[in-house]
Amino acid sequence: MELGRVGIWWSATWRVRDEASLDVAAELEELGYTALWSSGGFDPGLSPRFGRLLAATADLAVASGIVNIWQAAPPDIARAAGELDALYPGRFVLGLGISHAALVENYAQPLSRMTSYLDALDATGVASVAKDRRILAALGPRMLTLAGERAAGAHPYFVPVQHTARAREILGPGPLLAPEVTVVLERDPTRAREQARSFTAGYLTLPNYTNNLRTFGFQDDDLSGGGSDRLVDAVVCWGDVESVAARVHEHHEAGADHVCVQVISASGHSFPISEYRELAAALLAR
């Protein structure tokens, strides 16, 4: 699987049928970003946003980050992915994940559930959901190992660069490693961290993320109130264009093949296209 070095992770605007958002997708491709990542959402099946993004662009990859396996039956996902592949050969990447206990009814045995789900996908015989065309959201060692054995690789989310290094060690040299990396384009430390906490606060209520962060030495005080300065600085790359690009590149140096950059902007839910324009040359030159 070849996704290039730097892609875009975003969901808010792409969740609606919005011509402006599709224009943004085309511009991101023109700027040189090589993949667009979007949440699979919580509705059953495969969101129509992926087809709209594929239709709005020419060559780049469009990836689900992630399809929630508790909400999407394997035959339905295989059929939908196959239809996309027939229209846009080789461009859709199926990202799968186990979501979170707080968000899923009857959540239990996530690793076993994922293994069974992959078995069911394989049983469909649909090439566009086969091992080399899918990627798993993974944080802990067992899910990372499964991602290396039963998928093209792993898509970690909300992680410091130390996790990228550990994930590469667990995966070994072959599988794809494509972490999401959050960015705030702001030089002032106080404003940057305040903006970052609008993002981190929600994720720090979810044990999958906090338990993972604890393995890197973060304690209760770090994980409360939107995160300590130390935690915010670890999971969010903030600063000017060059310092942000350097921080993103640290994930490449730690073993990432592809980095999905998610800009958190003061503009809220409107797409931060100006920030992606500013960042393009610095990110894509590395």
What domains can be seen in the chain, in order of their start residue? 6-284 (3.20.20.30)
Mean pLDDT of 157-183: 98
pLDDT tens for residues 189-201?
A: 999 999 999 999 9
Q: Looking at the predicted structure, is the pLDDT value of residue 103 above 50? A: yes
Mean pLDDT of 75-103: 94
Q: Looking at the predicted structure, is the pLDDT value of residue 19 above 90? A: no
The pTM is what?
0.95
64 forms beta bridges with: 38
- Dump the DSSP string for 127-176: GGGSGGGEEE---SHHHHHHHHHHSSEE---S--HHHHHHHHHHH-SSSE
pLDDT on residue 20: 54
Q: Which of 15-24, 86-95, 144-153 shows the lowest mean pLDDT across its residues? A: 15-24
pLDDT on residue 7: 98
CA dihedral 102, 107, 111, 117 (to 10 degrees): -120
pLDDT band at 17 (very low <50, low <70, confident <90, very high): very low
pLDDT tens for residues 128-144?
A: 999 999 999 999 999 99
pLDDT band at 13 (very low <50, low <70, confident <90, very high): low
- CA–CA dist 251, 186 (Å, integer): 20
